[in-house]
Structure 1
Amino acid sequence: MTGAWRVWIIVWCWAVVAFGALLAAGAIPGIDAPARALFILFSGDPATADVYAHPAVRFGLGLQGALTIGWGLTMLALVRTPSIGVSQWRALSVALFAWFVIDSAISISTGFWLNAISNTGLLVAYLIPVLASGVLKRA
């Protein structure tokens, strides 16, 4: 992948890292306001602010943030490798699709359906440069 599509996917990876940082910050009182607002938005119920304050929820959110940061940085390392081939792009795409299906199913089944919409946006933002650049085609 080269040119504008490469820049797009690198920016996409950094956006995933930034979102992970937002989630991780949600575990820390005093800097948790953006994560708390997102939590309430996705639940559609302001009463979830009470649930959000529970230490186990903060712990889970912090871990989710750390995992998201790691996921974004791992993808960034791979997509910045000059020799990334078709099989690696396919593996990344399968991994992203697996995340999308599982995360979206959980989001919908637990009443956080707005998260499934944001997941769709993230998936589409990934697929645009991947499909447009042709990196998934056999050599």
Structure 2
Amino acid sequence: MNSKWQAQMQIWCGAVMIFGLVLIGGAFEVTSAGVSGLFAILAGPGPITWDPAFRFSLALMGAVTLGWGATVLAVVRGTSEVPDAQSLALWRGITVALLLWYIVDSGLSIATGFWRNVLPNTVLIGWYLLLAARHPARARQGQVAQV
């Protein structure tokens, strides 16, 4: 597998995992500065209530996000050892899952008054799609020009 592509995908996964850690930080007051800053930027429709249920939700979403990034990282590393057809099938599945996340997360962000969240979502999915389009197996099959 193309080591440049693999390194770029690992950076993408690292960014997702770091975001998960920021969300996890919201579980406790002492570690919530990052997520407080995030909510200040997102500027939702009202004040945030830092109650136990909200902190639990942040921690849970952070854990899911951290796991999501780690899962894609495992696929990045693992697909270098499988035939192109299998690798592309895995990446198609990951792409469908990420598009589903984008549609649901962005739609709910707009519906709940946190429309600004669509901007980083769009950056993240766009970055991923650019990398996915440059998958080395696709280039070998002539499906995309190698960049």
TM-score between the two structures when normalised by the length of structure 2 = 0.84
| Residue deviations 1:62-112 (CA, integer Å, cap 9, x gap) | 100000001110110011112261100100000000000000000001010
- Is the 8 Å Cα contact of residues 26 and 32 (structure 2) preserved in structure 1? yes
2:69 matched residue in structure 1:
72
Equivalent-residue separation in structure 2 for 1:63 and 1:75 (angstroms):
18
Larger radius of gyration: 2
1:12 alignment partner AA: W
CA-based RMSD: 1.9
Q: Secondary structure at the match of 2:28?
A: coil
4+ aligned runs moved over 2 Å, structure 1: 132-139
Residue in structure 1 matched with residue 30 of structure 2 by the alignment: 30
Q: Which residue of 2 aligns with 1:17?
A: 17
Contact kept? 1:20, 1:67, Cα under 8 Å: yes
Q: What corresponds to 2:108 in structure 1?
A: 106
Indicate the residue corresponding to 1:133 in structure 2.
135
Matched residue pairs, number? 136
One-letter amino acid of the structure 2 residue matched with residue 79 of structure 1 = V
* Structure 2 counterpart of 1:48: 47
Aligned to 1:6: 6
Larger RCO (CA within 8 A; separation ≥ 6): 1
Counterpart contact for 1:40–1:48, Cα < 8 Å: no
Q: What TM-score, normalized by structure 1, do the two folds share?
A: 0.89
Unpaired segments ≥5 residues, structure 2: 142-147
Match of 2:120 among 118, 134, 138: 118
SS of corresponding position for 1:111: coil
